[in-house]
Chains A and B, each alone.
Chain A
Amino acid sequence: MPSLRDEATDLDLIRRAGGGDERAFERLVDRHYASCLRFALHMLGERADAEEAVQDAFVRVWRALPDYEDRERFGGWLYRIVVNCCRTLASRRQRRGHVVVSDELLVASAASAASAPDDGSWTEEVARALARLPEAQREAFLLHHVEELSYEEMSAITGRGISALKMRVSRACDRLRELLAEVPSVR
């Protein structure tokens, strides 16, 4: 999967896309779609929602290309838009009463994990533990530990101070440790 840190060619593609080169923009989509989808999927928990958020993000990127300034790393700029799209979709989902992981599901999954722990159940346990984090903590944790952004980049993306972000990540890690410790056995 291409990394969001491949700056040199990104910049070239952005300039060409900004000049109306549709193919250049499509190459940007090809390069970054999967990374954006991974973040959105972990944030929202459902593929359809994640795809919708990422699609919305790329449309916004296209519209905003004329405003893009070289001094900002494209990856950070893109993440900022993806994060905002995920937040928008999550709040819309809350308004219509959608809950990603219900308590009933968690109870059921704990029971099934106890009886047959395997790689699949570990993946599910990780997803469920992540879904139980407060949204702000989940977002900070993913940006730092999974997407490997620095706190400075995260601050620019989220508009939050570095200390607050460190606190969120720390609390997210503590909570995940607790939740994952409850998983009966892991191979």
Chain B
Amino acid sequence: MSDERLRRAIAELRRPVEASPDAVRRVKAVVRAERMRRRRRARRSPWLLPAAAAAVAVLAALVTITIGPERTPSLAGGTPPIAAPAPAPAVRGTPVIGGDRARGAVRAVAFAVAPGPDAERVSLVGDFNGWDPSATPMRRGADGRWTASVPLALGSYTYAFVVNDTTWIADPNAPRAPRSEFGSAGSVLVVDSLRF
């Protein structure tokens, strides 16, 4: 009897699984974003990369322009498992776009978010890094904010933050993306030369 049940179990497990069309579309969208990211990277001349890195390095010393009002970021939707952020000093909205020395083509953009005390890992994802949570880890500062700087060419980008590998949140201080590629919260950033 047991072998018969095992045989039936294997037959059951071999039954085709129906794929969600949305999930398949998501995969294709992510790969498209990855391809665009690579193209952008390839378009940058080799001499631009160190220049972009230099732009990041001097970011703190340069005049910055802040997008969005000054307030403490909070979790989009406020859902667990991430606790609501503890009262914190006013946090400047993100991203912060710095002046650059990258021949006018690339801006050093500093992102910051305060997702609360339960955050153990935070990363920045967007169409500029293939929505890859491992591509741009953020660093926690003494004030509880997590920050990361990314060199970006002029253009429009969509991005979000990933907290503890699982929770995607939009930037509360930036315009909300109409619809992110993942159906998750996302924000819009426009890196515009007119801002400088």
User: Could you list which residues of chain A lie within 8 angstroms of chain B, going by C-beta atoms?
Assistant: 1, 20, 22, 25-26, 29-30, 33-34, 37-38, 41-42, 47, 51, 54-55, 58-59, 62-63, 92, 96, 122-123, 126, 129-130, 142, 145-146, 173, 176-178, 180-181, 183, 186
Contact = CB atoms under 8 A, between A and B. Distances in A.
Interface in B1-57: 1-3, 5-6, 8-10, 12-14, 16-20, 23-24, 26-28, 30-32, 34-35
A29 B9 contact: no
B156 interface: no
Contact of A37 (B2, B12, B19, B166): B19
Interface string B99-118: 00000000000000000000
10 contacts: A29-B27, A33-B23, A47-B20, A55-B23, A55-B30, A58-B31, A62-B35, A176-B6, A180-B9, A181-B1
Contacts of A123: 12
B35 A1 contact: no
A87 B18 CA distance: 22
A173 B10 CA distance: 10
A146 B34 contact: no
B12 A126 contact: yes
Question: What 7 A-B pairs are tightest by C-beta distance, nearest first?
Answer: A177-B2, A38-B17, A180-B5, A1-B16, A51-B23, A146-B13, A34-B19
A86 to B, nearest CB: 14
B135 to A, nearest CB: 11
B31 A122 contact: no
A63 B132 CA distance: 12
B193 interface: no
Given A33-B24, A55-B26, A130 B13 contact: yes
Q: SS class of chain A's interface: helix, strand, loop or mixed?
A: helix
Given A33-B24, A34-B16, A62 B34 contact: yes
B30 A59 contact: yes
Contacts of A58: 27, 30-31
B148 to A, nearest CB: 20
Given A92-B165, A146-B10, A180-B2, A59 B17 contact: no
A146 B18 CA distance: 16
Contacts of B10: 145-146
A114 B34 CA distance: 50
A142 B14 CA distance: 9
Contact of B16 (A30, A38, A178): A38
B16 A177 contact: no
Given A92-B165, A96-B166, A129-B9, A33 B31 contact: no
B31 A186 contact: no
Given A59-B130, A62-B31, A96-B164, A186 B8 contact: yes
A181 B5 contact: yes
